[in-house]
């Protein structure tokens, strides 16, 4: 790929007519028609004829004909070389490297000559800070980007012939993109672009049946560790494409993609379906199939009948579990939204508990639950900190401080990457259990069985059981609870 630039004699080309040669943000430093000292370069007699020829090729102000551009770029580079003494060449195709491997980005002076006396700079969006800077015979650390320290080096054994390959160790998703190889020799500078494509192959798809959906059965496919964003495709036994019900993709802290795709199968004669996930850069893919019973509807009915017989012991099929419970509409308590980000202070127990209860973001359109079975859903998305569950208080109201002191919470709590289940009150924590949850739930459904004193939490994205408070000793009036903070207590609590 011969994408080069020179700082000599660019005034003749006129900035508005050579705009097609620019890279976005590349002129944030001195414009290319100025030299490094900020003085305008002027054309000598020898170079006026080519400048005039370029103007004639412009077609009309501001644009070159598309058919002329490739030849024009090559011609400008070759014409600039005698004046500048060298040009820079990068690879014609992107460099493709697997995630975690080492990458080598080649860059070469033409004609071949020593670059030991030059300043060599590898950079990305801007000249400084840079990926790597080489000057006075050694690498310079002062301007290096933090994320590349200890992971990059220059192939110095070839610098005598103008080859300055950049070596990047253990490439990450964030290393993906364009790099510039920049040479500076006094008042002359030239550079070329090199494209790095990082390829992350994720895990084999996990495919499973979720339960009945829209007169069929829902099948879910999930996989993580992909880069860049992968493509997902469902196929039948004959290779025919099937339309997904929904698809979601999210990135983790390392920039890798996790994908989930759902399919509703209504035709029991399909036999099996395959979920295929493909890397768009390398074309590599991973696929998994799931066998569907020949008599799909009959099989579903049999499984559902067995589930309904003993649904209280089965920690699966939350969609089926909903049939045993009454749906409760809850709404956002706008009066407390402004309290979301307020910090707790170490105050008296009564005032502290008042803040715990007062920050509830869920509003129930009734006085509270005193019997029966109910469920409600809460969208959590990528919230970093939350508390979710129920609280109960005595049915008979007493004086405020005593009433608050008797409030009891059964909640799940997320704080960063840590999860725990808590039974607590103003007097402190009576039960605490750390939970191992690999993937942060984006949407949770809560089932409350008042008579059985059971509170169960399910991840509604994949239908998995998260946690249950069994024999929670519920009494009084029960209310849904949700807050964008974790539970905090004073030391004396």
Q: How confident is the model at residue 39 (pLDDT cuts 50, 70, 90)?
A: very low
Q: What are phi and psi of 323, to 5 degrees?
A: -65, -20
Q: Using one digit for the tens of pLDDT, what is the confidence trace for 376-418?
A: 999 887 788 999 999 988 766 544 444 555 788 999 999 988 9
Most confident region among 26-40, 173-187, 288-302, 371-385 by mean pLDDT: 173-187
Q: How confident is the model at residue 489 (pLDDT cuts 50, 70, 90)?
A: low
Other CB atoms within 10 A of residue 28 CB: 10
Amino acid 197: pLDDT: 98
Amino acid 335: pLDDT: 67
Amino acid 38: pLDDT: 37
Say if CB 360 and CB 479 are below 8 A apart: yes
Q: Helices marked H in 349-487 — which ranges?
A: 349-358, 400-405
* 332 vs 411, higher pLDDT: 411
Provide, rounded to the nearest whole percent, the portion of the chain with pLDDT above 90. Answer: 47
* 289 vs 21, higher pLDDT: 289
Whether 59 shows a pLDDT value over 50: the answer reads no
Using CB atoms within 10 Å of the CB of residue 401, give its burial: 0 to 12 exposed, 13 to 18 middle, 19+ buried.
Answer: middle
Amino acid 215: pLDDT: 74
* 230 vs 11, higher pLDDT: 230
Q: Using one digit for the tens of pLDDT, what is the confidence trace for 470-479?
A: 877 788 899 9
Cβ neighbors of 364 (< 8 A, separation 6 or more) are: 328, 330, 479, 480
Amino acid 309: pLDDT: 87
Return the exposure string of 90-120: e unless at least 16 CB atoms fall within 10 Å of the residue's CB, then b.
beeeebebebeeebebbbbbbeeeebeebbb
Task: Region of 225 please: left (phi>0), alpha (psi -120 to 50) or beta.
Answer: left
Number of residues in the chain:
493
Can you tell me the mean pLDDT for 70-95? 61
Amino acid 312: pLDDT: 87
Can you tell me the mean pLDDT for 352-374? 74
Other CB atoms within 10 A of residue 453 CB: 15
Amino acid 488: pLDDT: 67
Can you tell me the mean pLDDT for 6-12? 36
Provide, rounded to the nearest whole percent, the portion of the chain with pLDDT above 70. Answer: 73
Amino acid 336: pLDDT: 65
Say if CB 447 and CB 455 are below 8 A apart: yes
Cis peptide before 415 (omega within 30 of 0): no
Amino acid 203: pLDDT: 95
Token pair, residue 53, equals: 């020829």
* 198 vs 66, higher pLDDT: 198
CA distance 47 to 83: 9
Amino acid 367: pLDDT: 84
Rounded (10°) CA dihedral 420, 423, 428, 429: -50
Whether 344 shows a pLDDT value over 90: the answer reads no
Amino acid 291: pLDDT: 85
Q: How confident is the model at residue 36 (pLDDT cuts 50, 70, 90)?
A: very low
* 137 vs 182, higher pLDDT: 182
Q: What are phi and psi of 399, to 5 degrees?
A: -65, 145
The alpha carbon of residue 92 and the mean position of all alpha carbons in its chain are separated, in whole angstroms, by: 30
Q: How confident is the model at residue 334 (pLDDT cuts 50, 70, 90)?
A: low
Amino acid 257: pLDDT: 96
* 11 vs 455, higher pLDDT: 455
Amino acid 393: pLDDT: 82
State how beta strands 95-98 and 188-199 pair: parallel
Amino acid 124: pLDDT: 96
* Closest to 221 (Cα-Cα) out of 290, 318, 300: 290
Amino acid 165: pLDDT: 95
Q: Per mean pLDDT, which range of 210-224, 289-303, 327-341, 454-468 is the poorest?
A: 327-341
DSSP single-letter state for residue 392: E
Q: Using one digit for the tens of pLDDT, what is the confidence trace for 179-192?
A: 999 999 988 899 99
Instruction: Evaluate if pTM is beyond 0.85.
Output: no
Q: Using one digit for the tens of pLDDT, what is the confidence trace for 88-136?
A: 999 999 999 999 999 999 999 999 999 999 999 999 999 999 999 999 8
Q: How confident is the model at residue 464 (pLDDT cuts 50, 70, 90)?
A: confident
* Closest to 484 (Cα-Cα) out of 338, 272, 341, 343: 341
């Amino acid at each position: 790929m011969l994408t080069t630039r020179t700082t000599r004699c660019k005034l003749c080309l006129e900035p508005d007519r050579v705009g097609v040669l620019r890279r976005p943000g590349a002129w944030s430093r001195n414009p290319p028609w100025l030299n490094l000292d900020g003085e305008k370069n002027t054309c000598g007699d020898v170079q006026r004829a080519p400048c005039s020829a370029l103007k004639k090729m412009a077609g009309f102000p501001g644009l070159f004909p598309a058919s002329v551009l490739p030849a024009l770029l090559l011609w400008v580079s070759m014409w600039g070389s005698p004046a500048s003494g060298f040009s820079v060449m990068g690879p014609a195709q992107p460099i493709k490297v697997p995630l975690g491997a080492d990458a080598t980005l080649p860059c070469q002076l033409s004609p071949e000559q020593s670059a030991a006396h030059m300043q060599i700079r590898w950079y990305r969006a801007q000249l400084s800070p840079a990926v790597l800077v080489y000057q006075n015979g050694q690498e310079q650390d002062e301007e290096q980007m933090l994320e590349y320290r200890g992971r990059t080096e220059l192939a110095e054994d070839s610098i005598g012939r103008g080859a300055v390959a950049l070596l990047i160790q253990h490439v990450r998703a964030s290393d993906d993109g364009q790099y510039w190889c920049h040479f500076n020799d006094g008042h002359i500078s030239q550079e070329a672009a090199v494209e790095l494509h990082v390829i992350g192959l994720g895990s084999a798809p996990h495919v499973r049946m979720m339960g009945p959906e829209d007169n069929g059965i829902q099948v879910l496919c999930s996989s993580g560790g992909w880069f860049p964003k992968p493509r997902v495709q469902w196929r039948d036994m004959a290779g025919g494409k099937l339309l997904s019900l929904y698809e979601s993709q999210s990135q983790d802290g390392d920039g890798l993609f996790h994908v989930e795709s759902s399919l509703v199968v209504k035709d029991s004669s399909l036999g099996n379906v395959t979920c295929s996930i493909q890397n768009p850069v390398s074309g590599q893919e991973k696929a998994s199939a799931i066998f569907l019973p020949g008599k799909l509807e009959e099989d579903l009915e049999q499984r559902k009948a067995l589930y309904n017989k003993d649904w209280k012991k089965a920690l699966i099929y939350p969609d089926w579990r909903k049939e045993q419970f009454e749906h409760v509409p809850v709404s956002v308590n706008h009066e407390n939204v402004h309290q979301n980000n307020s910090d707790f202070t170490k105050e008296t127990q009564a005032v502290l508990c008042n803040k715990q209860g007062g920050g509830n973001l869920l509003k129930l359109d009734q006085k509270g639950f005193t019997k029966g079975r109910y469920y409600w859903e809460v969208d959590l998305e990528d919230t970093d900190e939350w508390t979710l569950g129920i609280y109960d208080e005595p049915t008979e109201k007493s004086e405020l401080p005593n009433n608050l002191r008797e409030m009891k919470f059964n909640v799940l709590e997320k704080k960063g990457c840590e999860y725990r289940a808590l039974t607590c009150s103003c007097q402190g924590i009576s039960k605490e259990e750390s939970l191992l949850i690999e993937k942060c739930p984006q949407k949770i459904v809560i089932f409350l069985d008042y008579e059985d004193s059971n509170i169960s939490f399910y991840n509604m994205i994949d239908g998995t059981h998260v946690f249950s408070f069994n024999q929670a000793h519920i009494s009084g009036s029960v209310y849904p609870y949700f807050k964008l903070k974790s539970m905090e207590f004073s030391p004396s609590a």
